[in-house]
Amino acid sequence: MAKSATTTLSGETLTFSSIADLGYKQAQTSDSLTSQAQYALDNIAGFPEDISDEAKSELYSGYKKRWNETHPAVQYAVINGHYVKATPEHVANKSVEKIDVGLDFAFSLTSQEFGKLKNTEPEKHALIAKVRDTVQVYCSNRLGDLKRAAKKILGAGQSHTRTTLDFVQSVTKVFDALEKSVKVKQGKGDSTANNVQFRMAKDAFWTAYNKK
């Protein structure tokens, strides 16, 4: 029997009491992914072949939250215009300029602000770019995991819990997704998105469609 062991990965500590315990926890993880993929199939129109920008943005928001939990920000000290990992001495010295580089800081900058740093502060740009690139790869890989799990369900014919919608139900689901989308886009300043006009248009559609 293998001895109990502790493994640290990405800042998270995992404990396995035996190989059997490892097998149990691996199976548990696999079952969870299958359930998550089924949820994606039931709630993301067209998944896994298609995914809307809004759904992808929501998924990535969750992925980023998880990445942030296991990758705390790293503090750097600015010494003679150069960025070095802060030592305890740097941390204690209040006169030393310091910045915390993590997900929140890296994605707080607009694309324009981030781009300008490449010329004005190349070292700072490189630190932020590393975080942004790593997070994007992480999110892309997690979406890939979810898609593969969904395809496996479909391939095995295990999507029997997926409900076949009639036309009215399908249109209602589309309208619900569009209503959420128009709110998001309007909030981001999209001049073509108007939630009030959308709801009026939706009501007009149903009035016309249900007219006897």
Question: Which pLDDT tens digit goes with each residue over 100-114?
Answer: 999 999 999 999 999
Both 122 and 188 in a single domain? Answer: no
Task: Identify the band that residue 159 occupies on the pLDDT scale cut at 50, 70 and 90.
Answer: very low
Helix, strand, coil % in the chain, rounded to nearest 5: 60, 10, 25
Helices (H), 46-121: 53-70, 88-92, 103-106, 111-120
pLDDT above 70 as % of the chain: 90
Q: Can you say how many angstroms the Cα of residue 114 is from the centroid of all Cα atoms in its chain?
A: 20
| Beta-ladder partners of 79 | 82
Tokens representing 157?
């014919």
pLDDT at position 4 is 61
pLDDT at position 59 is 96
Both 91 and 57 in a single domain? Answer: yes
pLDDT at position 7 is 58
Both 126 and 204 in a single domain? Answer: no
| Beta-ladder partners of 77 | 84, 98
Quick check: helix, strand or coil at residue 96?
A: coil
d(CA 45, CA 84): 46
Q: What's the alpha-carbon Rg for the chain, to the nearest Å?
A: 24
Tokens representing 195?
């939630």
When divided into structural domains, the chain yields a total of 2
54 against 12, higher pLDDT = 54
Both 43 and 129 in a single domain? Answer: yes
Both 139 and 174 in a single domain? Answer: no
Tokens representing 109?
């900058």
Lowest mean pLDDT among 41-50, 69-78, 129-138, 180-189: 180-189
Both 27 and 125 in a single domain? Answer: yes
Both 17 and 109 in a single domain? Answer: yes
Both 51 and 114 in a single domain? Answer: yes
Lowest mean pLDDT among 46-50, 62-66, 132-136, 186-190: 186-190
Domain enclosing residue 179, as ranges: 164-212
To the nearest 10°, report the CA torsion of 9, 57, 47, 26.
10
